[in-house]
Every structure is written in C-alpha cells, then in structure tokens.
Amino acid sequence: MGKYDEDGFDPYAARFTPDENVEEEEFRFIESMEYLIENETDLAGRQMASFNLASYYRNIRKFRLAKKYYEICADLGDNFSKEQLGFIWYYGLCGEQSFEKAFQLFRDVNFERSRYMIADMYHYGQYVEKDIDKCRELLEDLFSKVKKERSDPRFFISTLFPEVALRLVQLHIEEEKENLLDLYCLYDARDILAIRQQRAPFWGNIKTMHRILETTKNLCGTDYRFSDLYDLLILDTETGLAIFDYNDEEYRIEIFPHDGEIIYQFGDKWFHGAEDFLERARIDNQQITAIYDLIFNINFLNMSD
C-alpha cells in the first residue's frame, strides 16, 4: 500500500486525454481548459474544464497539478473530483498520505468505487479499525450489483466488476474458501479489463490486470493457461523472447537485463518492464493493447513461468 499500484481506473480521465505525442495538441488543450476555468460563466462549463485538466494531468502522472484542478472542481461542487482527491490522499500521490482524509472523502461521496475503497480500508485497518466482516459485507453488496454488468458490453468501460471480483477472490483465498467460481470470476475480470484498456487506455488498468493474473496463477498453479500478451506481466524472467503475428507480419519482443532493470526491446524502442511495454508500445501508431485481440500465434521462448 502507499503507492498508486493497487487500482486506478477512472472512466472519465481517458476520454479527455489528447495524444501525448502531439505537443501542439497538448498545449492547445491545456490553454483552452485554463481559459474556460478563468472565464466561463456557466458553472457546469468550469467544472468540466477543471475536471478534464485534472484528469489529463493524472493520466500523465503529474499528480500535484491533478490535485490542484481536482480541488478547483471539488470547490465548484463536483463529487467525482472529491472522490479523485480521496485517491490522491489514499495513495500519497503528492508526497503526503492521509487515510483519514481519504476515508472522509470516500464516505462523503458514497459512490460505488468509494465504497470499494472503504472496504479496503476495513480490510487493512487504515484509519478505521480492521474489520474483515465489514469489508466482506461491502464487497458482497457491490458484487451483487456489478455481476449483472459482466455480460453487458455497455458497461465494460465503467463497471467495477474486475476490481470487486478480484478483491472478493483474494479475500476467499485468505480465508481458504476459494472455489471454482472464483476462477471463472477472474477469467471474466481479465476479459472485461482487456476490453476496457482497448477502448479507454489508462495505466491503472495495466496494474490491476497484473494483480488479476497473479491471483489467477495462484489459483491455477501449473494449469495456468497463457493466452495473450498480458501474460508477460507474470512471466518471471530476466531474458527471453516473445514472438507474435499481426496483419500477417511477425513481431518480436526481446527481454534482457540492463543496468539493474529488465528491458523490453520492441523494434527500435526500449521499455522498462512488462507494464511499461503494455502501456506505451505501439504498432502502426496504435497502442498494442488496443489491438490485442488481433494478435495471434504468440510464443514465449526461453522464458520461465
């Protein structure tokens, strides 16, 4: 805990993020949002501009600027921004962590994701007294709502099913009550999260996927089924080669140690491990996670698992 590695899904942030490789577009986006914040007379317009800008800065990990604009939006009465401030305080993204402030913000807005975070706080005893029964009660109540969304594509971007299912399965494992239904929930969580990342890319999705796959492998053991490039997240390796086909062309990912870290070389670009690769790698100017379902004949060579 204490790092923004556990969760991070924001269904709003990705919608407003311009192409990070286009500096002119970035400049114009920031300038236009700041102009609206200062000059827009309509309250909803100022809220939208401040939320868009805060979400943009959070997506590129400039958390102090994100906090500044979420606070502006929250002062204008926006509860979604209050929830985002709760995440900032919970994970200490600006250098200071406060479970008390996070809990108060999550409790005040009372959104589904906030209740999910409160469940975590009861699980770990963060600010509140540790209470596994309360944690389970909150998670099971959320699961009764989100499980209906796992088969409805309209909800794949916004549903909390992957996160809630993962937490419940982890709780079952801790209590030694895991079962086959837990495994099916994790398979569904993986599929939904892959579609979410395809439609609305966000680095927090990759981190959640990592935890889903680790938990799945924990349940499956040697029977774990490797199926796509996301499996790179749990292949324990310092050297290796991944080969796959896309549009009748073969692509290679070379993995090797360099200066104390594991490098993924893809074409002429280097990436700092599997998460960085899945977040930033592109083919034909498309993020690799946006075309994951069009990638075939994946082979992991000389890699331990």
| pLDDT of 8 | 44
Q: pLDDT tens digits for 154-173?
A: 898 999 999 999 999 999 99
| Cα–Cα dist 138/212, whole Å | 20
Q: How many Cβ atoms sit within 10 Å of the Cβ of residue 24?
A: 8
Confidence of residue 103 (pLDDT cuts 50, 70, 90): very high
| Cα–Cα dist 224/32, whole Å | 49
Q: Is the pTM of this model over 0.95?
A: no
| pLDDT of 2 | 34
| Cα–Cα dist 141/120, whole Å | 14
Question: Over the chain, what is the mean pLDDT?
Answer: 90
Q: Which residue shows structure tokens 């827009």?
A: 40
Q: pLDDT tens digits for 22-61?
A: 678 888 999 999 999 999 889 999 999 999 999 999 988 9
| pLDDT of 304 | 54
How far, in whole angstroms, is CA 276 from its chain's centroid?
13
Residue 29 in contact with residue 18, Cβ under 8 Å? yes
Closest CA to 288 of 253, 263, 262, 241: 253
21 has a pLDDT exceeding 80: no
1 versus 246: the higher-pLDDT residue is 246
| pLDDT of 302 | 77
